[in-house]
Structure formats: C-alpha cells, structure tokens
Structure 1
C-alpha cells in the first residue's frame, strides 16, 4: 500500500497482516482521487473516514492537505495502526474505536468529505442506514461529498442525493451530494 500523491507521495505503508481489512486498491484509490481533484481543493477541508481499516484513505487525504481527519473503526488493531502511522508521519488524524452506527447517532460535527467503506457483506439495509444517518444527522456540509465504496452487487442508485457512480473491477464508488443532479 502506498500514498499516491501529496507531501507523502510514494511513501509505503505496511499494516500488520492480521488486521481484518480489505484496503481500497491503489488503482481504485487513484481513480477516486482523480475524481475528487476535479471537485475540491483539499487544503483546509475536513474529512470523516468510516470503517477506516488501515487508514489508507485518511493518509491520502492528509497527504493532500486535508486539515482535519477523523477515522473510525471497530477494530482496536486498526485504530492502533492508524494512531502509530499518523504519529510517525506527523498527520492530523484523530482515530476512534467505535461502532459506526452508534458513532453516527451521537456525532455532531459536519465534514466536507465523508468516505465510507463498510465490509462488502453488509446488507442493503445497512448501507442505506449509514447513508440516511449521515444526511439526517447533518454530518455532511452543504457543499460536501459522501463517497461510499461497495461491491457491484450492492445497489445504491435508487437513493436520494446520489450524484454518480464509478465502477472499478468488483468495486463501485457511489458519490452523494445535496440536491444533486445525476451524471451519466
């Protein structure tokens, strides 16, 4: 796993093998950030990384200048790895060990970018609940973007605020924005 752009471009990250994760591939991450580069200047933004796993997306955001990042995962090993890596690279990432559903119920800050990468075995209802909770609890800034990574078997194209989707192999990124017009 490597950081693909920004001040830490090219840095390798080697998480422990025993973490229960499925990191976003470098190809998928590069494609995702090519899209985000057309929508945002990362300097000064705030981001929330849910189901953060190894922190792969959080490090990429920090490397590109995102000012404030909160990473959430249920696994203590993942949280420990994120904390250690953030300290080693001097990154402003705050990590929380928490159930994402409970975190979303209680959390009151809003973010410019929210990235959600739950386990692919989540049910359709669980994916929909996460997206609904983010919008209903005003966790996304008005001009912000919610990105959900999911398998091609999970369908989110019927949900409100979906702007567009991009497929990369077996993975799909669904992009949600307030009052969005669907792109082709």
Structure 2
C-alpha cells in the first residue's frame, strides 16, 4: 500500500498485521482525491478517518495538503500501524490516534451545534445489539496520541470525513453513525462513505444528503453533506455548478 500523490508520493505504508482490513485501491483513491481536489476541500483540512485500518485515506489527504487527521479504529493492530506510518512520514505531530469503537468516539465529541434530528434520537439507540447492525460493543475510547490541546467548550468541526466501515456492517448502523457524525460538520464539510457496490445506497439521517455517488467495480463511493436550508441550497447549487463546469472544461 502506498501514497499515490502529493508530498509523500510513493511512500509505502505499514499494514495492520493479521487484520481483515480492506485497503482502498489505487484506482479508487486516484478518482476520489481528484474529485476532492475539485471541491477544494483538502487544503488545510481538519480530517477524520473512521474505521481507519492502516490510515491510507487520512495519510493520502495529509500528503495532498490537509492540516491534521484524527484516526479512529477499534483494532489495536490498526492503531499501531497508523502510529508507525505517522512516525515514518514525520507527521505524528499532526495526527491523533484513537483506539476506540467509532460509536464511542463520536459520542465523546461535541460540535458547535446540535441538529434537532439528533436531539430526538434515544441515547441508547446505538448501544449493544439493539440496532442489530453488527457494531463492536461500545467501549471506552483510549486516545493514544494527542498533539493539540483544545478548549472543551469549543466543539469540533471536521472539514473532511472518510468512512469505510466493514461491508457486513448493517445499513441501519451506518445510518445511525452518520446521524451522530452530522453534529461535527458544517455546510462546507464533505463525508465520503465507501460501501460495496452491490449494497443499497446508505439511508441518510434527516440532517444529511448524498450529493454525488460513483461506482468502481465492487466499490461504491457516496459523497455526503449537511442538508441545506432553502437559502443555503441556492448558494451550494451555485458553487457546485461552478465545480461541474470547471470539470466539464477540463474533460473537453
């Protein structure tokens, strides 16, 4: 596994030993990051890499100009691999590694605002086997490395989120994770969800919507953002139109 572009182009990444991680292929990464470049979301971005595995997506983002990345994975082998990769690339000062279940991590974070749809969700809806989605048992998250001290009242906003859960993870569980994630986003944030192309399109919680999708063989990518109000929708449509027009010019 390697980084395919940017400051660390060609760097080989350590993979978690003996794990069942599913690295994103170079072909998919190339297309994914080309689209993200078009949206202008990478430069100086605060990135969240959920179900991180070796951290390939987060490190690719760092190579292309992201400022910092939080990596989250419940497997200790993944946490060790991410830590080794961060040290190898010399960017461990810009990374935080959370050896934690994704649900536990998201529950421990708070954003600057709460969406009404999230406030209506029961707190125990994600716990145990109630959702039947196959999530790991919620456990106390252990932060292995924290380089930046943050004001607890400040809240967190992530500009870019990668979410590549195991394909067997139930669709209801994916939807509920997205619901918890939505309070850590703003109107310019983008979430990329990777799923099996044979699986149905993820059902979005009330606060989110899919604005673009693309399939590559067995892999499907869904680009997700906060659902705009009527005023915000007009502004977003104008920006998206400009990006699409620029893409069309390049293709021509």
Q: TM-score, normalised by structure 2?
A: 0.68
- Aligned residue number for residue 123 of structure 2: none
Q: Which residue is equivalent to 1:125?
A: 172
**Greater shift in the superposed pair: 41-50 or 27-36:** 41-50
1:113 matches 2:115: no
Match runs of 1:82-97 below 5 Å: 82-91=82-91, 92-97=94-99
Residue 70 of structure 2: aligned partner: 70
Contact preservation (8 Å) 2:158, 2:189? yes
Deviates more, 1:46-55 or 1:99-108: 99-108
Give 1:36's aligned residue.
Answer: 36
> Contact 2:16 / 2:78 at 8 angstroms: preserved in 1?
no
How far does the alpha carbon of each residue in 1:69-112 deviate from its partner, in whole angstroms, 9 at most, with x for none? 00000000110110111011112221100010111112121100
1:154 positional shift: 2.6
Question: How far does the alpha carbon of each residue in 1:41-60 deviate from its partner, in whole angstroms, 9 at most, with x for none?
Answer: 52211000000001110110
2:210 maps to which residue?
162
Query: Contact (CA 8 Å) 1:128, 1:156: kept in 2 or not?
Result: no
**Greater Rg by CA:** 2
The residue that corresponds to 1:99 in the other structure is: 101
Aligned-partner Cα distance in 2 for 1:164–1:157: 12
* 5+ long unaligned stretches in structure 2: 111-155, 242-252
Q: CA deviation at 1:39?
A: 0.3
Number of the residue aligned with 2:22: 22
Judged with a 3 Å threshold, the aligned counterparts in structure 2 of structure 1 residues 156 and 133 are, in CA distance, closer, same or farther, namely farther
Which runs of structure 1 show a deviation greater than 4 angstroms over 4 or more consecutive aligned residues? Answer: 180-183
Number of aligned residues: 181
Inter-partner Cα distance in structure 2 for 1:40 and 1:83: 27
Distance 1:36 1:23 in 2: 19
Q: Is the 8 A contact 1:114 1:140 kept in 2?
A: no
Q: How far does residue 16 in structure 1 lie from its aligned partner after superposition?
A: 4.5
Instruction: Write the distance in 1 (CA, Å) between the matches of 2:46 and 2:77.
Output: 24
Q: 1:171 aligns with which of 195, 200, 219?
A: 219
For the aligned residue pairs, the C-alpha RMSD in angstroms reads 1.9
Answer yes or no: is the 8 Å Cα contact 1:58–1:93 preserved in 2.
no
2:194 is equivalent to residue 149 of structure 1? yes
